[in-house]
Structure 1
Amino acid sequence: MSDRLNESAAQATIAHTPDAICVRRLSAQDALDQVPALADVLIDCVEGGASVSFMLPLSRDKAETFWRGVAASVAKDERVLMVAEDADGHVVGTVQLVTAQPDNQPHRADIAKMLVHRKARRRGIAQQLMAAVETEALKEGKTVLVLDTVTGGDAERLYARSGWQRAGDVPKYALMPNGELCGTTFYYKHL
């Protein structure tokens, strides 16, 4: 009996530590409910210089409109949306698996918008999100994953450590949020 009590106390302690992160898949309704929190993460990342399709300044309205579109895509089974939440239930990271692909690529999916709030970085959250989205990809019957990231950016180390293969670079592919050109590196992974 005392072992069970100690186990319960340990679990309660883990659940309330600042490093306790829960990664979960959101339903379409969950995604709609989390639009403000997801917008916070997106805005923070863009303000921190992440080249993730948005330019500065990124308005809350534009960020929330984007996430409502993602929720609609989840409802149509076109994508999977994952979030990382801290011990208090606050969304601190997110990643998407775009499952809607052409007819000749039913086995493939794209990884998109891998974002971690700056206040939550350097805690392994991105790695947890990537592992979880790969698990979800397999559940969806996807065995070839593709993603792109800023050439020379911090995310490249994460992908290399996680077994992703570099496919190549395209110089001047996109813009940083401040308008500066940046290269993009493409990666793939066979599950």
Structure 2
Amino acid sequence: MSASAFQIRRLRQIDADQCHTLAELLIDCVAGGASVSFMHPLAQERALAFWRGVAEGVARGERALLVAEDAQGIAGTVQLVLAQPDNQPHRADLAKMLVHRRARRLGMGEALMRAADELALDCGKTLLVLDTVDGSDAERLYRRLGWQSCGVIPGYALWPHGGLCATHYFYRALP
């Protein structure tokens, strides 16, 4: 799949059908072993509740949501948490970078990350922060894209199928 085989766009509101599709994406990622705050098996209602909360944050302007769509629909997503404390108006957290197993290793994750950089700048953000599983494919992607390591916390979270994993923190200063 080339970059032309998928398109990335910002969702400024999330309707019920999109919530269901995003919930299926999250369930697929958790089932595939992604440590993204949820345990396996992830119930549909729990995933829907998460995305309904994201939809509320997007509607309030507290979050920005990008989706990557292929011929089958939404296959990837990433969020910018724009709402930050008063002394950090220049910063956003990059969260829940998810790519469906059908679309992995095809450039979608990198395209989402590059689009997130552009969106952050458009939103007036010049510093991004994220965390990921230490030693993961995502970590390698972030390093390749120029993210700077801040350190690792051992035993920080659980893998979705059980067992502790270390979390690696990164930041990126935007031009």
TM-score by length of 1: 0.88
1:173 aligned to 2:123? Answer: no
Pick from 18, 26, 36 the counterpart of residue 42 of structure 1. 26
Asked if 2 retains the 8 angstrom alpha-carbon contact of 1:137 and 1:143, the reply is yes
User: 1:18 offset after TM fit, Å?
Assistant: 9.6
- Structure 2 counterparts to residues 176-187 of structure 1, below 5 A: 176-187=159-170
TM-fit CA distance, 1:31 = 4.9
Q: Give the match for residue 73 of structure 1.
A: 57
Given that 2:155 and 2:166 are in contact with CA atoms closer than 8 Å, whether structure 1 keeps it comes out as yes
TM-score (norm 2): 0.95
Matching of residue 106 in structure 1 with residue 89 in structure 2:
yes
In structure 1, how many angstroms separate the alpha carbons of the residues matched to 2:70 and 2:4? 7
> What is the letter of the counterpart of residue 21 of structure 1?
F
- Aligned-residue CA RMSD in angstroms? 1.6
**C-alpha separation between the residues in 1 aligned to 2:85 and 2:40?**
32
Instruction: Report the CA distance between 1:127 and its aligned residue.
Output: 0.3
After TM superposition, where is structure 1 displaced by more than 6 Å over at least 4 residues in a row? Answer: none
Does residue 151 (structure 1) correspond to residue 111 (structure 2)? The answer is no
Q: Note the residue ranges of structure 2 that are not aligned, 5 or more in a row.
A: none
Deviations 1:40-71 (A, max 9, x none): 11000000010000011100111011001000
Can you list the C-alpha shifts for 1:98-133, whole angstroms capped at 9, x where unaligned?
000000000000000000000111100000000011
Percent of matched pairs sharing the same residue: 60
Distance in structure 1 (CA, Å) of the matches to 2:39 and 2:4: 31
- How far does residue 33 in structure 1 lie from its aligned partner after superposition? 3.8
Letter of the aligned partner of 2:71 in structure 1?
A: A
How many equivalent pairs are there?
174
Deviations 1:72-98 (A, max 9, x none): 00011000011000035x000000000
